[in-house]
Amino acid sequence: MSTLPRGSMEERTGTALDVLRAEEERLLACVHCGFCLNACPTYTRLGDEADSPRGRLVLMRAVAEGRLEPDSEAFARHIDQCLGCRACETVCPSGVEYGFLLERARTVIAAERGTSPLTKMLLAGFANRSSSFVSSALGRLLRAGGIAATLARLTPRRFGTMRTGLAMLAATRPWEALRRGSTGGALEEREAVSTGPVQSTALGQPGEPDAPDTPAADNYEFAEPHARAGEAPTGTGMGTMTAAGDVAARKRLRVAVLRGCVQDGLFRRVNDATVRVLRANGCEIVDVGAQGCCGALHAHSGALADSHDLARRNIDAFEAAGVEYIIVNAAGCGAMMKEYGAQLERDPEWSERAKRFSSKVRDLFEFLVERGVRTGAPLPLRVTYDAPCHLHHAQRITRAPLDVLASIPSLELVPLEDADECCGGAGVYGIQHPELGGRIVNDKLDAIARTGAQVVVTPNPGCIMQIGAGLVLRGDDRPVLHPIELLDESYRRAGMGSE
């Protein structure tokens, strides 16, 4: 059994199993009511109690209490098959912190049974800036000219991991037509009837002249989440819109933006759009050069000590910048950084700093809605929104991205059935489990097809890649974008740039 030399008290002095044992109180919170079963995508697909949240919690407890061997096949298989989507937390009346426990269970399994070479390679690439730079450059080269998409379509199904990986890479491409204003006809037809004066008013003003034709944000009906221990009943972004006045009258805020690893390497355009939109809304952006990967993928894969090292590096880097807020445009990274306080709660040297750091972290849309956001030019597109699990279930931000999208004049927001169900991407899950991940994403793709939307938006790189890969493999060239790209384009058309 391997030891974990860094991090919390247990990590320093004990074994990976001690890390799970230390969470007895969190494990005992489950009262086995079963309300979570039908919210769980793996239970509804596999129909096995051991692949449900309740079943997995029973396995974790059995291992923690010494009734099941930590290296047992059953423990490894059922914990491995969990997406980590945290949909079970949203419906759990007992406030079980399932995601936190899952990370500890995976740490036990990684220590007992090792980590696959593919996962090790991916995690090392994310954590190290030089290798991340090189692999991203290679990735961009492969996606250019559609090489990755062609190779993905030519790769036989039996090479599922390679096929999915190539299709994911292809899905990171920018949608050139958005900037050119040429989107296959439909946008131009709608644009001809919807151009109008540019407004610079805040969101949510009744009777606003440039209000969208179909503000369908209200058509997305999401279940009200149950509160977790020590948490207010709902998170921010649940439909409370700041009706701020002219942006110029508001206090200028000094903020930093997390660049991320995958986001910086393959979606730099999203980071650039984020900075432009924040500047247009009166923020001063402080560049934090020493920042790095947030550590979410490491925690989800059982590399908890590495994840905590990455957290400490970021706390150091952002503290030195002295900003009021740390803005995150990737749902998975935002969820992780808001939880640095909990992640390092057993580390006496870092726990207070980690809590202070987490209190400054804001999801991009949460921030824009709280602050009030300017309106740009019309963008006549039919768009559907898929909710990333780590925004919707982990951060409990359900309305903010919809409200921002609904503020874009002439944008038609078409509701997506089961938008709050996982797409099967779940960090590196889509690559590790191409079959089950593929089954789950296929249901998502069928729902997307039924919307008739021209564009799919979702604010998380993993979800963009998973849904985009499914579309690439179906030969569907519908783009999957980050929602901030649409607001940024609306600003560009209004000449708002980054003044």
Q: Which residues bind ligand SF4 (CB under 6 A)?
A: 30-36, 39-42, 53-54, 56-57, 82-88, 92, 94, 96, 98
Cβ–Cβ contacts within 10 Å for residue 396, how many? Answer: 23
Distance from C-alpha of 310 to C-alpha of 211, rounded to nearest angstrom: 43
Q: Which 3 state secondary structure label does DSSP give 237?
A: coil
Distance from C-alpha of 111 to C-alpha of 14, rounded to nearest angstrom: 12
| Minimum CB distance to ligand SF4, residue 91 (Å) | 6
Contact in structure between 327 and 278 (CB atoms under 8 Å): yes
Q: What are the start-end ranges of the H helices in 160-280? A: 160-170, 176-180, 186-194, 262-266, 268-280
| Minimum CB distance to ligand SF4, residue 41 (Å) | 5
| Minimum CB distance to ligand SF4, residue 239 (Å) | 24
Burial of residue 117, with CB atoms counted within 10 A of its CB: 0-12 exposed, 13-18 middle, 19 or more buried: exposed
Q: How many CA atoms lie within 13 A of 290 on its CB side?
A: 11
| Minimum CB distance to ligand SF4, residue 402 (Å) | 22
First to last CA, the chain: 57
Query: Is the Cβ of residue 85 or residue 480 nearer to ligand SF4 in the bound state?
Result: 85
Contact in structure between 29 and 97 (CB atoms under 8 Å): yes
Query: Is the Cβ of residue 94 or residue 128 nearer to ligand SF4 in the bound state?
Result: 94
Burial of residue 407, with CB atoms counted within 10 A of its CB: 0-12 exposed, 13-18 middle, 19 or more buried: buried
Longest CA pairwise span in the chain (Å): 69
| Minimum CB distance to ligand SF4, residue 47 (Å) | 13
Query: Is the Cβ of residue 104 or residue 312 nearer to ligand SF4 in the bound state?
Result: 104
Closest CA to 215 of 195, 239, 192, 191: 239
Query: Is the Cβ of residue 92 or residue 467 nearer to ligand SF4 in the bound state?
Result: 92
Closest CA to 371 of 455, 288, 277: 277
φ, ψ of residue 225 to 5 degrees: the values are -75, 150
Query: Is the Cβ of residue 2 or residue 38 nearer to ligand SF4 in the bound state?
Result: 38
Contact in structure between 65 and 50 (CB atoms under 8 Å): no
Query: Is the Cβ of residue 385 or residue 429 nearer to ligand SF4 in the bound state?
Result: 429
| Minimum CB distance to ligand SF4, residue 443 (Å) | 14
Query: Is the Cβ of residue 56 or residue 362 nearer to ligand SF4 in the bound state?
Result: 56
Query: Is the Cβ of residue 7 or residue 225 nearer to ligand SF4 in the bound state?
Result: 225
Query: Is the Cβ of residue 37 or residue 162 nearer to ligand SF4 in the bound state?
Result: 37
Angle between the 304-321 and 351-360 helix axes, to the nearest 10 degrees? Answer: 70
Query: Is the Cβ of residue 41 or residue 376 nearer to ligand SF4 in the bound state?
Result: 41
| Minimum CB distance to ligand SF4, residue 349 (Å) | 31
**Residue showing tokens 């590096």:** 313
Contact in structure between 123 and 14 (CB atoms under 8 Å): no
CA atoms 404, 409, 415, 421: torsion sign: negative
Query: Is the Cβ of residue 90 or residue 155 nearer to ligand SF4 in the bound state?
Result: 90
Cβ–Cβ contacts within 10 Å for residue 48, how many? Answer: 12
Per-residue tokens: 170: 């292809």
| Minimum CB distance to ligand SF4, residue 89 (Å) | 7
| Minimum CB distance to ligand SF4, residue 60 (Å) | 11
| Minimum CB distance to ligand SF4, residue 50 (Å) | 11
Contact in structure between 19 and 11 (CB atoms under 8 Å): yes
Query: Is the Cβ of residue 34 or residue 114 nearer to ligand SF4 in the bound state?
Result: 34
Strand order of the β-sheet with 412-413 is 412-413, 382-385, 455-457, 480-481
